[in-house]
Structure 1
Amino acid sequence: MLRKPRFKRTSVKTFSFFLIFSAIVWVLVQFSKTYTQLIEIPVNYVNTPLDKSISDERPDHVDLQLQDNGFNIYYYKFFNPQLKIDLSKARETENELVYSLQNHLTEIEQQLKIDFENSRIIQNEIVVPFQFKKEKMLKVIPNIEVNYAVGYSSDDPVKLTPDSVKVSGPEKIIDSMLSVPTKTIKLNKVNTDLDGNVAIDTSGLGALSFYDNSVKYTQKVEKFTEGSVEIAVEVINVPEDLNLAYFPKTIVVYYQVNLKNFENVSPADFRLVCDYKNINEGDDYMIAQLVEKPGFIHNIRLNERRIQFVIKR
């Protein structure tokens, strides 16, 4: 009986090794050769002028005729590097931005890491259509919460500089806006003058271009003290034939005031009023309202608001 010949396992391993080695050598040889290939390089536009909106029909790539070894060519094919086009360096015509590729070859070489000695970009320039955006000044609204340290406050609101910013964008968005807020910040235990910068809140406003992205905020903070005055209650609009008795006759008004203005506060600067017309049927009290006060006092409170009354027959 004849036996089938057996291949030695070592022979199979040796054959496989030389086969793989030969394939690797062949690939290295092929990739080491110089080829000429046309490759599309995607472009990314940056630094678009703020008063312009570039068209969606803008070119999305440039054609690069690359003469190089296979390794580099396949790098560009598979990793697809982008070319940044700085539109602030483009020439402006009536409705187009023209970027000269030939005038910026050094920058392009650095970005794409190629040598234009044996390669070239087919186009001489990129032409980008644009439309002018509408411009408008928007009021900036401070979104700043200030909590003062004990004994401190301010007579003035938080001031923004500038208080308005220029924006540009699509007309339908610009026309619907009057103001824009700052980012929210919260300042606690403040006992010194405010002086800082806060960013403008551009959330959801990606279609707009802001000429300023932040503003300065300031406020003079000073030492304050608490004062109080006792003010007589005045009842108005009482019918002439009505004999009205009410209690209390006076109310204590507490307030905070800048130390430098403490001596300037006088009871004559205040007026407390109860309006008989505002009484609801069945009520036996009136609500006191502070209708006059100095403009430089803050955090006002009354020790009593309800004024009890009876009608004498």
Structure 2
Amino acid sequence: MSVRRKPRFKRASIKTFSFFLIFSAVVWVLVQFSKTYTQLIEIPVNYINAPLDKSISDDRPDHVDLQLQDNGFNIYYYKIFNPQLQVDLSKAKQNNGELVYTLQNHLSDIEQQLKIDFENSLIVQEEIVVPFQFKKEKMLKVEPRIEVNYAVGFSAEESVRLKPDSVKVSGPEKIIDSINTVYTRSLKLNKVNMDLNGEVDIDTSGLGQLSFYDNSVGYYQKVEKFTEGSAEIAVEVTNVPAGLNLAYFPKTVIVYYQVNLKQFESVSAADFRVICNYREVKKGDDYMIAKIVEKPDFINNIRLNERRIQFVIKR
């Protein structure tokens, strides 16, 4: 008895069928997308150039409605990529605690941003109304965070100065009243051998609700050639109880200091005073701590070769 086999489709027939099926689907999609549709699309709004003296409310509109009449391809583009509309608040009018941005007055700019033609499309809203509150203004002291490492033989008599040393800011009253000082961004300068004169940004991190009228300040410092000097100074002991026979050593210490080369000859041992305060001696200690209590104002990097002064009490 013969077995009847099931007919099989030829592979060539399946490929031909698949091709025409896919081709038909593509043609159908192209035809459908080529048709003109009217679609309402939400366009996100991004606000720029807000007035520095105004705090913009969080209740501001976050989008506008665009009624777009176009082919399916362009509508699909807007739905997928969803371009933003930049609203320049410096061009808005102020009215009773609100900034009013009239869209009809800026159609050419909107057309360029969104790449649309308003002959067949329109924005449903006539204007964007943004509530605001006036900010409080205040001058804040700026402190430098500038680390200067000088080249060998160079230094400065004064610290780094800022110009201006204060900046004007505006913001919510609660924040403004809680802050008096801001800082520059950290800056490290190495091997400095000439006068400093530059600009550094203000560190506004964590202060996003404040508006700064200036975002940077200048810094400067006079850098000069310095040299090291030394002087031998007698150690004085103060507040020794009456009748206490105190012997201490060393009797003198060496003071090392850095001084402007031009003023080197102006420094003498008589300009220094080194003392030990016996009242500051802790119980059981057999030494005192030497301190420099007098020195010329124009020297720096001052140090002693010996700070511990040993002592014994004679009976």
The answer to whether residue 269 in structure 2 is matched with residue 267 in structure 1 is yes
Matched residue, 2:138: 136
Matched residue, 2:18: 16
CA distance in 1, matches of 2:193, 2:279: 45
Shift of residue 128 of structure 1?
0.5
CA distance in 2, matches of 1:55, 1:118: 33
SS of the residue 1:40 aligns to: strand
Q: Can you list the C-alpha shifts for 1:215-237, whole angstroms capped at 9, x where unaligned? A: 11111110001111122222222
Are the structure 2 counterparts of residues 294 and 22 from structure 1 closer, same or farther at C-alpha, using a change threshold of 3 Å?
same
**What root-mean-square deviation, in Å, do the aligned CA atoms of Structure 1 and Structure 2 show?**
2.0
- What pairs with 1:249-288 in structure 2 (closer than 5 Å)? 249-288=251-290
CA distance in 2, matches of 1:294, 1:103: 70
Q: Can you list the C-alpha shifts for 1:61-102, whole angstroms capped at 9, x where unaligned? A: 111121211111121122211111111211112311111111
Q: 2:297 aligns with which of 292, 295, 298?
A: 295
Structure 1 length-normalised TM: 0.93
Shift of residue 269 of structure 1?
1.6
Matched residue, 1:84: 86
CA distance in 2, matches of 1:215, 1:43: 33
Q: Which AA in structure 2 matches 1:50?
A: L
Q: Can you list the C-alpha shifts for 1:2-42, whole angstroms capped at 9, x where unaligned? A: 87665544344333323332232222222212222222211
- Structure 1's unaligned 5+ residue stretches are none
Higher mean alpha-carbon deviation, 144-153 vs 23-32, is at 23-32
SS of the residue 2:157 aligns to: coil
CA distance in 2, matches of 1:184, 1:133: 29
Q: Can you list the C-alpha shifts for 1:138-187, whole angstroms capped at 9, x where unaligned? A: 21111111111111000010011111122222333222212112111211
The answer to whether residue 196 in structure 2 is matched with residue 197 in structure 1 is no
Matched residue, 1:121: 123
Shift of residue 268 of structure 1?
2.1
Shift of residue 282 of structure 1?
3.5
The answer to whether residue 28 in structure 2 is matched with residue 26 in structure 1 is yes
- What pairs with 1:105-254 in structure 2 (closer than 5 Å)? 105-254=107-256
- What pairs with 1:97-108 in structure 2 (closer than 5 Å)? 97-108=99-110
Higher mean alpha-carbon deviation, 4-13 vs 158-167, is at 4-13
Are the structure 2 counterparts of residues 256 and 115 from structure 1 closer, same or farther at C-alpha, using a change threshold of 3 Å?
same
Shift of residue 258 of structure 1?
0.2
CA distance in 2, matches of 1:6, 1:255: 104
Q: Can you list the C-alpha shifts for 1:173-225, whole angstroms capped at 9, x where unaligned? A: 22221211211121111111111221222222222222222211111110001
Higher mean alpha-carbon deviation, 288-297 vs 241-250, is at 241-250
Structure 2 length-normalised TM: 0.92
Matched residue, 2:308: 306
Q: 2:56 aligns with which of 49, 54, 57?
A: 54
Are the structure 2 counterparts of residues 117 and 278 from structure 1 closer, same or farther at C-alpha, using a change threshold of 3 Å?
same
Are the structure 2 counterparts of residues 274 and 19 from structure 1 closer, same or farther at C-alpha, using a change threshold of 3 Å?
closer
SS of the residue 1:288 aligns to: strand
CA distance in 2, matches of 1:273, 1:77: 81
- Structure 2's unaligned 5+ residue stretches are none
Q: Once the two structures are aligned, what percentage of the paired residues are identical?
A: 79
CA distance in 1, matches of 2:192, 2:9: 90
SS of the residue 1:226 aligns to: strand
CA distance in 2, matches of 1:148, 1:286: 34
Are the structure 2 counterparts of residues 260 and 19 from structure 1 closer, same or farther at C-alpha, using a change threshold of 3 Å?
same
Number of residue equivalences: 313
Q: Which AA in structure 2 matches 1:80?
A: N
SS of the residue 1:241 aligns to: coil
SS of the residue 2:42 aligns to: strand
Q: Which AA in structure 1 matches 2:33?
A: F
Matched residue, 1:71: 73
